[in-house]
Structure 1
Amino acid sequence: MDTSKFIKSFLIIILITSCSEVSDIDKFNSIVDEQWNKVIFDNPVYASSMGDLSRNQEWGDSSLRKIFQDHEYEKEMLIELESVNPKSFSEDDLTNYRLFVKQVSESVEMQQYKLYLLPFSHRGGIQLIHDTTSVLPFRSIDHYIDWIERLKKVPDLITNEIAMASQGIENNVMPPKILMERVKEQIKLQANTTAYKSPFFKHFAEMDSRLFSEDEIKEIQDQALEVISRDIIPAYKNLLKFFEKEYLPNCRISIGISDIPNGKAYYEFTARRFTTTDLTPEEIHQIGLKEVKIIRDEMDDVIESVSWKGTFKGFLNDLRTNPKFYFDNPDDLFKEYLATSKRLDPELVNLFKVLPSIPYGIKPIPEESAPDTTTAYYQRPAADGSRAGYYYVNLYRPEVRPKYEIEVLSVHEAVPGHHLQIALAMELDLPNFRKYGGFTAFVEGWGLYSESLGYDMGLYKDPYSKFGQLTYDMWRAIRLVVDTGMHYMDWSRQDAINYFLDNSAKTQQDIINEVDRYINWPGQALAYKIGQLKILELKNRSKEKLGDLYDVKDFHHEVLKRGAIPLYMLEENIDAWIEDTLNL
C-alpha cells in the first residue's frame, strides 16, 4: 500500500463526515487515527521497534515519489483540519487539535526547502543501518529470519539514496564536504570488508546460545553471511563509487545552511520550529552571549574555590590534559557510569510525585559510530514494554571522557532527565502522535533543566564535578552562539571550535564532534537552552507567586503531566495552575 491509497482512504473519511451528522471531535479523531496508521505503515522499522511486527521484513519507502505523495496528503489533511470547529472541544481535545495542526502545518511548510535532497549524515543513515538491530526484537529464530529478509532489500535502499543524492546535485542542495568525508569513511567500513568482518554480521555473531541451539545459530549465520556477501557488500561498493566519483566532488566547501538555495529563510523557520518561539536567529545569538557571560562568572567562582593560580584558559587546559580526570580504559569508565546511575534512582522520590514504571539500562555506543558521535544519548523504551529505555555512553578514547562530566551527563540522559520524562509520557492517556512524538524545546529543555536538579540529589559535591555541571550548562549556551553564528552569520567551522575552546572545558574531540553535529542539524541545538530557560523562568515565577504554597513535586508534576508540548503552551498551563492554586 502506498500513500495514494491512504489519500483515497482519507478522502473517504472526508466524504463520510461531510455527508453525515458526525461531530467535530469524531471527525478530528478520525483524521488523527488515520494519520497514525499511516505513520506505522510507512515506517516498518519504527513499527517493529514499537512492537508491531506486521511488516518486520520491510523498510520504508524513501523515494522522491513517496515524498511528493506525502506532501499532497498532508496538504489535503490540513484543509480538512481547518474545516473542523474546535469550539466545543474539551481542554485536552483542544490541546490535541492545536498540536496536531501545528505538526502538519510545519511539515507542509518545510517541503519548500527541499531538505529531503540531503540524504546523508555522519550521525546516521544508510551507511549505519546495521545499528537498526538495537531497536528490533530478536527473541526468536523468526525475528532473525525477518532481519535477513530486510537485509536482502538494502540494495534497493541504497539505489533510492543515490537517486535522491543525484537530485541534490542537480538542484544544488548539497551538504558540507567536511561532513561527507566522515560519511565516506563510514561507507568504506561497509564496502571494504568481508562478510565475517562486516558490521552487519556482528549481531549474528553474538546470537545467544541460551536461547538458540548450535544448529539454529549456524543455519542463521550461514544465511546471513550469504546475504551480506552477495547483496550488501556489493551494494555498498556501488555507493562508495558514486560517493567518491560524483557526490563528494560536488559538495560545498561552506558549512552554513544559509548557503543552500533559500537557506537563510530555512534557518529562520527551523529556529522557530525547534524552539517553539518567535525568536529570530539574532535574538537567540544575543541570549547565548548573555548566558555565556553569566555561566563564566560562576565558573570563575569554582576556579577560585580550588585555589587555582593560573589563567582560565590554563585551568581548562589542565582539565583537558591532566590524567587524574580520566580513566585509562573503557571498562572502568563504563563501571563509573553504572555506579552513578545507581546513586540517582533513590533520590527521585524527593522531587517527583509520579515515577515511570518501566526501567532503563546503560549500554556502550556501538564502536562503528562511536568515533563520530556525541558523548551519550538516550533510546526510548519499546511501546509494548518488550525493551527498556537505554542510556548509551561513548567509551571511544576514554582518555578524552572526563570523570567530572559523568554525574551531569547521567542526570540529563537517564533520570530525572530523558528517561523519566519520556517514559512517563509513554504512560499517559494521550493520542499516539503525542505519546511517541514531542517537541525538542520541551524534551531537551527538560533534560538540561534536570541537570540543575543534581544539586537537590546530592551530586556535584566535588568542585570539579560542579565545574562539570557548569561546563554542560555552558556547552548549551555556547550552542546558541555557534549554531546561529555558523548558519546565519557566516562563522567558519574553526570560529565555532575556537569559541568553544575559549569558553568550555569540553575536550577537543568532543568539541569537534559537537560542532560537526550542529553543522549537520541546523537549529536543533538551539532548543536545549531556550527550553531550560523557560522552565527555570516558570519555576521562579511559581515560587514567587505561590510562596508557602509552592511544592517542587507539584511543579514538576504540572510540567510533565501533559507530555511534551511547545513552550508557549507550557507557560499557559503553569500560569493557569498558579491561578488555580491561589484560588483554592
Structure 2
Amino acid sequence: MKIYKYILLLLFFWNTAVFGQETFADWTAFETAFVKDFKRLHINELQISYRDNLELIQSERNIKKQEKMFLTYKKALKTFDRETLTKNQQLDYALVLYEINLHLERISLEKKWLTVKPRRIPTEGLQHVPMGKEWYVYFLKKWVDASVTPDALFQFGLSEINRAKKAMNAIEEASGLDSLQYQHYINSNRFFYNNVTTIQQSFENFKKEILSNLIDAFPKVAELPDVHIKQGKNEAYAQVPAYYAELRNTFYYNFFDKPFNKRQVAWIYFHEAVPGHHYQIKFEETLEKSEIKKLFSYNGYREGWAAYVEELIYEFATNTTKYDELGKWEWDIIRSVRVAMDVGLNYYDWSDEKALEFWQEHIKGQDEIALREINRMKNWPAQVITYKYGANQILQWKADIDAILPKDKPFPWLSFHTKILENGALPFSVMDAEVFGN
C-alpha cells in the first residue's frame, strides 16, 4: 500500500512538472509556470518557407505533450477574474489565450498531418501539398492575425488595389498632362539616379531634413540609436528596393544594374529607417516587457507599422512633392496586388498564368517582378499580406479618432503612436480589443 501511494504521489508531481498546474495563487505564479513550461516544449519558430514549417513538425509524442500543456493552461486561465488583474496583466491574459488557441489549432493540423504526410514534401507550392488549403488558413493566421480568412483578405486586396489606383490617378490629373505626356515625364531621366554617390547623398539629406518634423509625433524619436545608410551589396536581396539589418542599425538600398528611381527615397527611408523599422525596433528595445510578452514575436506588427508610416510622408516630410507620394503608391499597388494573388495562388488554386494575368490587369510593364513575386508567394505563403493588412489596421484606428475629433483640434499624433508602440509587438486583434477597446 505504501509503495502504491508513493507511485501515485510521483505520478502527481510528474504530471504537474510536465503539464503545469490547473490553479495558481496569483497571476505572477501563472506567468512563471507558463513561461517555464512553454520554453521546455522547444516549439519551433515560424519559418518563412512552408516546406521548412512542415519538415520541422515534431513527433506524435511531442505534439500530444504540447496539447496537454496548452489545454491545462487554457483551463487555468478560466480560474482568473480578469477584473482583478492590472491593465498589463489583462493584456498578457489576452495574449496567452490568443497563443494557446492558435497553438491548439496548429496541433490539430499536425496530428492530422502525421497521418497523411508524404515521403517528400512537394516544392511546387501548397496546391500540391496534402491539406494545403488547411495549412494556408493556418499560415494566414500565424503571419497576419488569427481573425483573418482567405475570402476576406482577397476582397481586402481588391479594395486596396482600387485605393492605390485612385491615388495614382489623382496625381496624374493634378499634373495637367495628358496620359502620354505624363508617362513620358515620370519616366524621364530627371527622376533617376545613375551613381551611388548621388543616391547616398539623397538619403542622407532626407534623413537630416525629416527628424525635427517627427519629434512631436513619435515618442523618443530623437533619443534612439542613429540609423546608418549603405548601398546593399548582397545580390540575393536584389529583388527588393531596400532592407534593414537591425543588429547593424543599418538599412541598405539596392543599386545594381538599373537606374535608381528617386521617387523611392522618401518612402524607403520612412519604411526602413525612421519612423519605420529602425525606429520601431529600437523603441521596442527600450521597453520593460513582461516575461510573457518576451516569449512571442509578431512580424505582421513590424511590417504593418513600417507600411503604415509610409502613409504619413506627405504629413511630415514637408519638402516632398506629389511625385514622392507617387513613388509610395507605385510600390503600394504592387503590395496590394500581391494580397489578392497570394490568396489566389495558395487557396483558390490559381495557375501561374492566371496570377500573371491578374497582375497585368493592374500593373503594366513589370512582368519580370510579377514572375519573381509569384514564385515568392508559392514558397512563402501569407508573408506578403502582412504589410497591407497591418497598415490598414492602424489607419482604421486613426480614422476612428478622426471621426470624433473636433474640427479645430489637431490630430494627437504623439499619444496615438505611443499607444501603438508602448506594449511592443502584439497581434492586431489583441491590440484592437485590449488597447483600443473595440
Measured against aligned partners, the alpha-carbon deviations of 1:180-200 in whole angstroms (never above 9, x if no partner) come to xxxxxxxxxxxxxxxxxxxxx
Structure 1 pair 376–487 and aligned structure 2 pair: CA distance change class (3 A)? same
Question: Are positions 1:348 and 2:342 aligned together?
Answer: no
* Count of aligned positions: 410
- Residue 412 of structure 2 is aligned with which of 547, 551, 554? 551
Which residue pairs with 2:149 in the alignment? 280
Instruction: Return the alpha-carbon distance in structure 1 between the equivalents of residues 353 and 220 of structure 2.
Output: 45
TM-superposed CA distance for 1:413, in Å, is: 1.6
- C-alpha contact 1:408 1:469 (8 A) present in aligned 2: yes
Q: Which residue of 1 aligns with 2:72?
A: 80
Task: Confirm or deny: 8 A CA contact 2:95 2:430 kept in the other structure.
Answer: no
Aligned to 1:565: 426
In structure 1, the residue matched to 2:63 is: 71
Question: Secondary structure at the residue paired with 2:312?
Answer: helix
What is the alpha-carbon distance in structure 2 between the residues aligned to residue 490 and residue 275 of structure 1?
A: 20
- Aligned counterpart, 1:456: 315
CA RMSD of aligned residues (A): 3.8
Structure 1 residues 573, 549: CA separation in 2 closer, same or farther (over 3 Å shift)? farther
Q: Which residue of 2 aligns with 1:173?
A: 121
Structure 1: distance between partners of 2:42 and 2:209:
39
How far 1:527 sits from its partner (Å)? Answer: 2.3
* C-alpha distance after superposition, 1:156-200 (max 9, x if no partner): xxxxxxxxxxxx994452122xxxxxxxxxxxxxxxxxxxxxxxx
Quote how far apart the aligned CAs of 1:576 are.
4.2
What amino acid maps onto 1:404 in structure 2? R
TM-score (norm 2): 0.79
Question: Does the residue aligned with 1:378 lie in a helix, a strand or coil?
Answer: strand
Structure 2 residue 202 is matched with structure 1 residue 361: no
Q: Which residue of 1 aligns with 2:48?
A: none
The Cα shift of 1:67 comes to 6.3
Asked if 1:32 corresponds to 2:32, the answer is no
Tell me how far apart the structure 2 counterparts of residues 363 and 552 of structure 1 sit (CA, whole Å). Answer: 30
Task: Map 1:62-461; keep pairs closer than 5 Å.
Answer: 71-84=63-76, 85-87=79-81, 88-110=84-106, 170-176=118-124, 255=125, 257-276=126-145, 278-310=147-179, 315=183, 322-355=188-221, 357-371=224-238, 373-381=239-247, 388-399=248-259, 401-431=260-290, 434-435=293-294, 437-458=296-317, 461=320
Letter in 1 for 2:251: Y
SS at match of 2:328: helix
Provide the rounded CA distance (Å) in 2 between the counterparts of 1:460 and 1:501.
34
Aligned partners of 2:139 and 2:382 also within 8 Å: yes
Aligned-residue offset at 1:500: 3.5
SS in 1 for 2:310: helix
CA contact (8 A) 1:370 1:395 kept: no
The CA deviation at 1:323 is 4.3
Preserved CA contact (<8 Å) 2:18 2:37: no
Q: What letter corresponds to residue 227 of structure 2 in structure 1?
A: Y
SS at match of 1:86: coil
**Which of 334-343 and 504-513 deviates more?**
504-513
CA 494–270 in structure 1, closer or farther in 2 if over 3 Å, else same: same
Distance 2:301 2:273 in 1: 16
Contact persistence 1:258–1:267 (CA under 8 A): no
The 3 A distance-change label for structure 1 pair 489 and 330 is: farther
Which structure has more RCO (C-alpha within 8 Å, separation ≥ 6)?
2
Could you say what secondary structure the match of 1:287 adopts?
A: helix
Change in CA separation of 1:516 and 1:406 when aligned onto 2, cut-off 3 Å? farther
Q: Does the 8 Å contact 1:497/1:512 carry over to 2?
A: yes
Identity %: 20
TM-aligned CA deviation for residue 24 of structure 1: 4.6
What is the aligned partner in structure 1 of residue 6 from structure 2?
none
Question: Post-superposition shift, 1:492?
Answer: 2.8
Q: Distance in 1 between matches of 2:235 and 2:331?
A: 26
- CA distance in structure 2 between the aligned counterparts of 1:66 and 1:496, rounded to whole angstroms: 34
Given the superposition, is the C-alpha separation of residues 353 and 79 from structure 1 closer, same or farther in structure 2, using an over 3 Å criterion? Answer: same
CA distance in structure 2 between the aligned counterparts of 1:346 and 1:506, rounded to whole angstroms: 38
Give 2:96's aligned amino acid: F
- The residue aligned with 1:489 is 348
Aligned to 1:392, what secondary structure does the other structure show? Answer: strand
Query: Residues 11 and 345 (structure 1 numbering): CA distance in 2 closer, same or farther, change over 3 Å?
Result: farther
